[in-house]
Structure 1
Amino acid sequence: MARKKNFDEQEVLDKALQLFWRKGYHATSIQDLVDELGINRASMYDTWGDKHRLYLAALKRYRQYASSWFLEEIRSEKPARQIIENFLKHLVNDMIADADRKGCFVVNSTTELATMDKEVQAMVEENRRTVEQVLAELIKEGQASGQFSSAHSPESLARFIFSVISGIRVVCKTQISNRELQEVIDITLSALD
């Protein structure tokens, strides 16, 4: 008979996410996880299998958190331009508000692991495709309504915006100011005109 877990799996996963996000995969030891999560090694291995599986679960959880706000915006009746502008401003505000300057967990995973870990690479690539597809649909809608120029395809503009978003998430780990980032947002939005 399987023993009942005496911990909340999602709560522990959130703690693991925060630890991996703060330290990275390679710098996080099993002992760090045991200490931070408040569970023993056996419970961790029984639940997630190993450190790598726990990391993948944390990355998946982060993607769910990170996309929830954007999905709500998309479901609203706001014009496409306002949705994209709000998304960029929300992104900058979140990054600037993070006193630890952790950046984005997906971007951090990309730079640390994607070239050597096929599962992380697949998750990161799927994330890029999904975000670009959503942005392309918004841009297509904006072009159809006359909010955006049709000089470039929705797909190429979506790829450009995704690249800017990734760059913002990297430079936010430095001491870049909100004003400087607002300039980046303004230039990015001007590419849609």
Structure 2
Amino acid sequence: MPRPKEFDPDHVVDAALDVFWAGGYASTSTQDLCERTGLGRSSLYNTFKSKHELYEHALRRYAERTRADQVDLLARTGPARTVIRDFLLAAVDRQLADPDRRGCLALNAAVEIGPGDDVVAGLTRADFDAIVATMRVIIERGQRDGEIAADRDAEALARLVHGALTAIHVVGRVAQDRERLTDIVDALVDSL
């Protein structure tokens, strides 16, 4: 009879997410994962089969977190431009408050691994598409309210918002001042 697991797999995924987010996939060793999760190699591999499978779980967990944030964002009331501005400014604040300037795990995965890994590429595309879908709903609400011109393509504007978010994560890794990032936010909101 197999021995029951004496650890919480969800805790392991959360710990691994932090390790991958800080160091990336290639730079994260199995030893790094063992140290952070508190598991031995055999327990880690018996549960997740491979470092790559654990990485996939971490990317899915990250997506769960961002989707929960998007649900909260959709529940917000008020002008669409204000909701979008607040969303982007929150990203600026998170980036600047993070001493490691990790950015976005999904974006980091897309840049590091790119199209060379179908599973990771699919997970990152799904994460990006979910953000665009959320922004589209908010923009369409702004169009119905007359705040954003109704003849503008809501999908294209939503992708533009996502592009600004991407810029915040990338530029924010090395930005020395908040203004460099808030300029991105202000220019985007003014363009809607």
Of 127-136 and 54-63, more deviation after overlay is shown by 127-136
- Give 3-state SS (helix, strand or coil) of 1:188's partner: helix
Separation of aligned partners in 1, 2:51 and 2:43: 12
Separation of aligned partners in 1, 2:116 and 2:183: 35
TM-score, scaled relative to structure 2: 0.94
Separation of aligned partners in 2, 1:78 and 1:58: 34
In the TM superposition, residue 81 of structure 1 has moved relative to its aligned partner by 2.1
Match of 2:81 in 1: 81
Query: Is 1:70 aligned to residue 73 of structure 2?
Result: no
Match of 2:186 in 1: 186
TM-score, scaled relative to structure 1: 0.94
Matches within 5 A, 1:37-116: 37-116=37-116
Separation of aligned partners in 1, 2:66 and 2:38: 25
In the TM superposition, residue 31 of structure 1 has moved relative to its aligned partner by 1.6
Q: Aligned pair count?
A: 192
In the TM superposition, residue 175 of structure 1 has moved relative to its aligned partner by 2.6
- 4+ runs deviating over 6 angstroms: none
Separation of aligned partners in 2, 1:176 and 1:159: 26
Separation of aligned partners in 2, 1:34 and 1:175: 33
- Give 3-state SS (helix, strand or coil) of 2:116's partner: coil
Query: Is 1:7 aligned to residue 17 of structure 2?
Result: no
Which stretches in structure 1 are left out of the alignment for 5+ residues?
Answer: none
1:14 and 1:58 in contact (8 A); partners too: yes
Separation of aligned partners in 1, 2:77 and 2:161: 21
1:13 and 1:57 in contact (8 A); partners too: yes
Match of 2:140 in 1: 140
1:106 and 1:124 in contact (8 A); partners too: yes
- Give 3-state SS (helix, strand or coil) of 2:78's partner: coil
Separation of aligned partners in 2, 1:104 and 1:3: 37
Match of 1:153 in 2: 153
When residues 136 and 61 of structure 1 are mapped into structure 2, their CA distance, relative to the original with a 3 A threshold, is: same
Of 144-153 and 51-60, more deviation after overlay is shown by 144-153
Matches within 5 A, 1:124-135: 124-135=124-135
| Counterpart code for 1:37 | T
When residues 148 and 2 of structure 1 are mapped into structure 2, their CA distance, relative to the original with a 3 A threshold, is: same
In the TM superposition, residue 125 of structure 1 has moved relative to its aligned partner by 1.1
Separation of aligned partners in 2, 1:164 and 1:20: 24
| Counterpart code for 2:83 | I
Separation of aligned partners in 1, 2:49 and 2:121: 20
Separation of aligned partners in 2, 1:96 and 1:134: 24
In the TM superposition, residue 42 of structure 1 has moved relative to its aligned partner by 1.4
In the TM superposition, residue 80 of structure 1 has moved relative to its aligned partner by 2.1
In the TM superposition, residue 151 of structure 1 has moved relative to its aligned partner by 4.7
In the TM superposition, residue 2 of structure 1 has moved relative to its aligned partner by 3.0
Separation of aligned partners in 2, 1:171 and 1:77: 29
In the TM superposition, residue 140 of structure 1 has moved relative to its aligned partner by 1.1
Match of 2:29 in 1: 29
